[in-house]
Chains A and B, each alone.
Chain A
């Protein structure tokens, strides 16, 4: 049987550099490191990378290969440039839908699971601030999705475009498009984290989040046009427009600003609510 030893403590606090102060972000670095470890210290990141790269980049590759090999259906337009531009459409529109659903699915339990399991209470019994707990999750999921769902698939697409298909794609418009694309998933990430602080069950978090994503496919046909200005639904299309050199409609500019504001509001609500959480 294992027993506790009778050794007296030998190390002392004198050997250790103690963290002092109780700032608003106390413990953030440690919490962020732990969050990232849960992704990059396991195979989870490889699985997610495959999930993001395989469907979008492979779909685009297959579509473009069909064009280049001439195996086009008779009614397909013959313009190769237009087809390559459509690759961006697939990337941003299909990818926008996928990242919205993906971030909600991945982050749905980020806060609720820790509340339910009791690990949040354990962490909060250490000298860590509550804002640090929520922000570490936000930053970690942002880094993970920015890398796995945006940067790497975008890099693969860029390589496909420039090196394989020799389509000259300017970097700056593409980067601006990706920035909008990123804002789109940040909206759903902030929403999911906020819902995680407000509800005690994952069903509500996932349900509300997914309803909003799916609503973006259906509701614009039935709602007044101004609603598009206050929702993030049009952002993937705006990202595509910017990347392909098309002008942004004023409504899209408003949607960009409002989505950014929504994201900040959601995070404020999440911080406020988690600050009042009773463990």
Chain B
């Protein structure tokens, strides 16, 4: 399988303009098979627009999107056959019960046998914890229950690709944890592409990330790569005394990427961004202490999380 075939989602210059406003600037996006890809961006970044374009719910103004190698404009029904989708604000026919909703959904994919369909519905209801509410009309469901139903209907067809738009947004912490667990369980069979604002979740379950801002791709790649590629590991050193010589010695090391210096109350604080954590762990403190005139009052590894990286990368973090 060549590289482009291993991408479940592959877009080329995909763009969308609504009434003169460019909601999505030309986007080249790749999502690998069997990955869990977090799709991040502030409100209005173009995440939902991208998802709708992938599903053929909206028509691109420019470029193209391929899902499973099929064009989103011309093969959208065939694409949706293999996709499960949960909308940001999922809406169903309120008089229907959860079971009826899943039955209606399943009939878009399967003709029978009826018992096998009913078994699949029961299994899916059980999976999302709605078995005891299966025969109640949806109009009485809470936001969290609707979201669970959303996840159920999205994966009733054993999709090869699950596209979830803010899947945990309406859930309590327990529900959120459950959703993440379901996602982790499904990753063996399914590629999951999901948008979220909850960056902790992304860091926990995703292996790749796409960040969008103002309709423009900021970065994409494996989570570890994005975090290390953005001043990923930083050590903090607080030095009392003249720290200039220590600073220069540290700066000469090949594993040091950059040093940010600050002074406060006669102390020098160095933020040392490094590329080799092992080398830094072994040598950094020694290098600072090599100068006897200097006292190290603080030393520690500053771990950047995805939220820090996200805030650095998107324009909101600069403001």
Contacts and interface: CB of A to CB of B under 8 A. Distances in A.
Interface of A: 1-13, 15-20, 22, 26-27, 29-30, 33-34, 38, 42, 117-119, 121-122, 124-129, 276, 278-279
B91 A118 contact: yes
Interface of B: 52, 55, 57-59, 75, 77-78, 80-81, 83, 85, 87, 89-93, 95, 104-105, 107-113, 116-117, 119-120, 123, 126-130, 132-133, 145, 148, 158, 172, 174-175, 178-179, 181-182, 185
A127 B110 contact: no
Contacts of A278: 52, 57-59
Contacts of B77: 22, 26, 127-129
Contacts of B58: 278-279
Contact of A119 (B75, B93, B107, B174): B93
A22 B91 contact: no
B311 to A, nearest CB: 31
B109 A122 contact: no
Contact of A4 (B93, B120, B158, B181): B181
Contact of B110 (A9, A19, A279): A19
Q: Is the contact region of chain A dominated by helix, strand, or loop, or is it mixed? A: loop
A8 B158 CA distance: 12
B108 A27 contact: yes
9 nearest interchain CB pairs?
Answer: A118-B91, A22-B77, A4-B178, A279-B57, A15-B116, A126-B108, A30-B107, A127-B81, A125-B85
Contacts of B116: 11, 15-16
B104 A22 contact: no
Nearest to A16: B110
13 contacts: A2-B132, A2-B133, A3-B174, A5-B127, A11-B120, A16-B110, A16-B113, A22-B75, A118-B91, A119-B93, A122-B90, A122-B91, A276-B59
A94 B58 CA distance: 44
B148 A4 contact: yes
Contacts of B90: 118, 122
A196 B120 CA distance: 36
Contacts of A118: 87, 89-91
